[in-house]
Amino acid sequence: MKIINEDLASLKKLVQSKTQQLTDLKVEAAVRDIIANVIANGDDAVRDYEKQFDQVELTGFKLPQSAIDEAYENLDKDVKDALLLAKRNITSFHEKERATGFIDAEQAGVLRGQKLMPLNRVGLYVPGGTAAYPSTLLMSALPAKIAGVNEIIMVTPPQKDGINPAVLAAAKIAGVDAIYQVGGAQAIAALAYGTASIPAVDKIIGPGNIFVATAKKQVFGQVAIDMVAGPSEIGVLADDSADPRQLAADLLSQAEHDQRARPILITDSPKLAQAVSDNVTSQLKVLPREEIATASVNEKGFIAVVDRIEDMFELMNTVAPEHLEVQLANPTQYLNLIKNAGSVFLGRYASEPLGDYVAGPNHILPTSGTARFSSPLGVYDFVKRTSFIQYTKEALAKEASAITTLARVEGLEGHARAIESRFDTYYD
């Protein structure tokens, strides 16, 4: 893993250049065509794309409930217990995110307030392919359940040998209402616009490949989306108190996700930097996903050595990583220096995979530097807010002049007359 010793300004430029996500115009065009075809031809288009991309011929998309129940009943006990533990911790964390509306009646004759309502139907995209993610299903569905969403449907790419049983069991554990065997951009189009078989949703949640991410971006506006997710990222801040073997393992835990994943270590210790680099090299040799992780480490990863702990945080705030580990002595004392991060892991025993699976905070996080302005998925992503107002005639009279003055400043005479029609002055 390459080690970089440069001044802070140069390192910031390096980080910013690596964070930029270039639009793939060929993918954009291909996805646009897929969406248009699904809008025009519905189930037939989806069925054709599944045959073309997943090499699976489907007569129907909806998975029978019996298949879901069977997967749950036959699941290995240790896997089932782990999923149930994850559910308990995810639920207990996200229940604390519940919010309520408010009513303000402090002014005489004035009632103002805000009403919170859950979304009616949401769609969860659960990736298939080389890796199955039952944990992502739990992270998507459970906050929606807590928010009170009326219906949760799931799409996942069909597999020749069947959908991973752990994914199906997780769907049952999380209370998913229906599962459809469809993936890729065609699944996103079906969720956004609906087909004869797949109902349209109000919001689409969940990560996927570049085609899925691009499709989510293109259907935004027709439906809401959680985010346009990029490759996984881990940023680690460490000093001499950290164990280089553990740091290397944590960096590789994200590098194995994707060749474009970003593993970054920032330290003030040249000795630690070299030890971590050496450990990454040796651990890669025995990692089952060696090829993927090696490409990530070589093309996207680096170790930066800076002079001060404050510089470490300043540089990492520029990275704005999806996951941030703080492996410093007394890590909690530095919380106020963290400005941009999706999820923060404090200390040696808060390894990033803890957050991926059972700790409770959501692992669907902002990527590609968007932690500068975005947040982890939560209950608040599944509710909408509506304000309400009620005035008595007397209360309106006190503010009528200000309203009509502002309306006429803006050239909106009709606005002013609408207020004046409540009183003696009225224009026919």
Q: What secondary structure, in 3-state letters, does 251-271 show? A: HHHHHCCCCCCEEEEEECCHH
Q: Is 323 a catalytic residue?
A: yes
Q: CB count, 10 Å around CB of 74?
A: 10
Burial label, 84 (beta-carbon count in 10 A; 0-12, 13-18, 19+): middle
Query: How many Å separate Cα 134 from the centre of its chain?
Result: 15
> What end-to-end distance do the CA atoms of the chain give, in Å?
78
- On whether the CB atoms of residues 277 and 3 are closer than 8 A, the answer is yes
- E-strand spans in 309-354? 323-327, 343-346
- E-strand spans in 126-177? 151-156
- On whether the CB atoms of residues 35 and 334 are closer than 8 A, the answer is no
Q: How many helices (H) and strands (E) does the chain have?
A: 15, 14
Best CA proximity match to 385, nearest among 187, 122, 147, 62: 147
Query: How many Å separate Cα 112 from the centre of its chain?
Result: 33
Q: Which of 257, 323, 325, 363 is catalytic?
A: 323
Measured in degrees and rounded to the nearest 5, phi and psi for residue 315 equal -70, -40
Best CA proximity match to 307, nearest among 1, 7, 3: 7
- On whether the CB atoms of residues 172 and 393 are closer than 8 A, the answer is no
State which H helix or E strand residue 303 sits in. Answer: strand 302-305
- Rounded CA separation 158/162 (Å): 7
Distances in whole angstroms, Cα of residue 2 to Cα of each of 51, 276, 373: 43, 10, 30
Distances in whole angstroms, Cα of residue 249 to Cα of each of 305, 323, 337: 19, 14, 25
- On whether the CB atoms of residues 343 and 337 are closer than 8 A, the answer is no
Residue type, 146: I
- Catalytic residue numbers read 322-323
